[in-house]
Structures are given as structure tokens and as C-alpha cells.
Amino acid sequence: MKSFISARRIFLALAAALLVAPAWGQGTAKPGVLTIGFIPAEDSRAMVRQSQAILDIVAKHTGMKIDAFVGSDYNATIEALRAGHIDVALLGPFSYVLATTVAPVEAFAVTVIARTMQPSYKAIIIAGKDSNINSLADLKGKTFAFVDPGSTSGFMVPSAAFIKAGITPEKDFKQVMYSGGHDATIVSVGSGKVDAGCVADRIYERGCAKGLADCNKLKVVWSSPAIPNDPLLYRKNLSEDMKAKIREAFFSVKNLAFGEMGTVARFDPATDKDYDPIREIASALKLDLRKMK
């Protein structure tokens, strides 16, 4: 009888634990917590702050506490995914492709920006309005700022354009630097620290509105074709139930700010194959993706 009572008490204790821990068996990095990661495309504190309304929606749908993680650089966020410390992430298209080479992750949604109502954006190159830079060829002999080697619009797409134009930045530019963030590039060009730099068009517009630079004194000298918007991804080893709740949460969003995306009109379904064009550009650039993380 005594052993029966002990077993019964153990069973009741386990049942109680299950009642207070709804995330049991969900596969998240930390029990009861869903960690959402971002790349540091803009100021990390601002990115988390402006994402709070969406993070609250995710918390409500999943029943989980939400932690936000912003890497010190693009690679740090990818490494956190590789180590299993992040469950969900908003990455740039190229950062996503890099992440898939080292971590079991998959895209499930793409952002649709309220301003354009399109699941795409463009890379642009900006320079001083009074400068003699009006084309890619005019960048020769000038100082130039990329964002990060893992950035799509802040490195990869402009690099492809330079190759097509017969330009080798390390050889043809006076100096090449990496600012670490799109906002930092806007500040660098606006302050005259560099002659020109590449950024995402949507971040440039918001940066101008926030007064990061006097954009009346800047100009766009080059613009890329449309690029697939930033994907949302989750780790493949999350439970199917948790994945469904995460999708349900993000697909319910209407016109809210998220990460560096500005106001997101909605999230549309996406798959890994949607980012094959980014892989094709990487291949054309002869980039070894596994050595870039």
C-alpha cells in the first residue's frame, strides 16, 4: 500500500507540472520560453522596442514567455541559431541562406511591407548630393561602406552589381569599410565619413525620417532589381504543435512594426525554395557560404 501511495503521489506531481508547463515537449531552447532572434540591421534596442506589439501576439498565441535576441553582428545571430539558442528568427534573405548551411532551420513566412504592399525591397547606393558620384563607375577611387558580409542589400546584391560592372571594390575603391548596420551606413555617408555606401531602401527612408542624416544632401546613385523580403524561420526540431501556433500568431498580424522591417502589413507563407534566387547570386559571386559564417 505504501508503494502504491508513493507512486500515486509521483503521478499527481507530474500531472501538476504538466498543467503549469504547457511548453512541455515543444522543443524550445529554454522550457517555457520562445526565443526570437534578429540581425542587428539597426539599433538593437530600437528593433526590440518597435517589435513589442508582435512579440506580445506571439506570446498570446503560443502561451510562452518571449525573449528577444539581437546578435552583435549578423554572424552572431546565425551562430546562435546553429547552437540551438534561438527558436524563431527574422533574417535578411542572404543571412537566411547562410543559416541553412549550419542549422536545421526553415522559412515559413515572408514580410509584406505596408508602404509597398510587396514581399520585396531593393538595395540602393547613396552618396552626397553635391558629389561627382552618379554611377557605379564613379565610385572608383572613393571610400565606400558595406553593411556586413552577411547582408543581402548591404553587401551581396551590390557586390554582384560591381562584378557585372567590372569593379573590384578592394582594388578600385580608395577604402572599403563595414559599418555593422544600415543605419550606421546612412550616418557614415551623411557625415562624410565615407563617400558612398549601400543600404536597404526601406531602412534608408526610415533613417531619413528619423533624422539620421540630412537626406536633402544625399542622393541615390544606384538601385537594384527587386529582392525577396526578409523571411521568418523556425528551427525544424520544434514540435509541430508549436510550429502551428507560431505560424498562426504571425499570420494574424496586420500593420504592425517588426524588427528592421518598419510597418509590416502582413506575413505571407514562404518556403525555403523562395530563396533559391539568393543562392544563385551567391553561386555567381563564387561565395563559399560555409566559410562566411
Beta-strand pair 256-257/263-269? antiparallel
Residue 4's pLDDT is 37
CA dihedral 179, 283, 107, 71 (to 10 degrees): -20
Q: Which fold has domain 2-116+229-291?
A: D-Maltodextrin-Binding Protein; domain 2 (3.40.190)
Residue 293's pLDDT is 54
Q: How far apart are CA 90 and CA 235, in angstroms?
A: 12
Instruction: For 215-268, write each residue's pLDDT tens digit.
Output: 999 999 999 999 999 999 999 999 999 999 999 999 999 999 998 788 999 999
Q: What is the value of pTM for the model shown?
A: 0.80
Which CATH number, 1.20.1540.10, 3.40.190.10, 3.30.930.10, 3.30.70.141, labels domain 123-225?
3.40.190.10
CATH 3.40.190.10 positions along the chain are 2-116+229-291, 123-225
pLDDT at position 11 over 70 = no
Q: Can you read off the three cell numbers belonging to residue 5?
A: 501511495
Query: Partners of 234 in the beta sheet?
Result: 88, 106
Instruction: For 13-28, write each residue's pLDDT tens digit.
Output: 433 333 333 334 578 9
Would you place residue 5 in the very low, low, confident or very high pLDDT band (cuts 50, 70, 90)? very low
CB atoms inside a 10 Å sphere around CB 201: 20
Instruction: For 78-87, write each residue's pLDDT tens digit.
Output: 999 999 999 9
Helix (H, G, I), strand (E, B) or coil at 220: strand
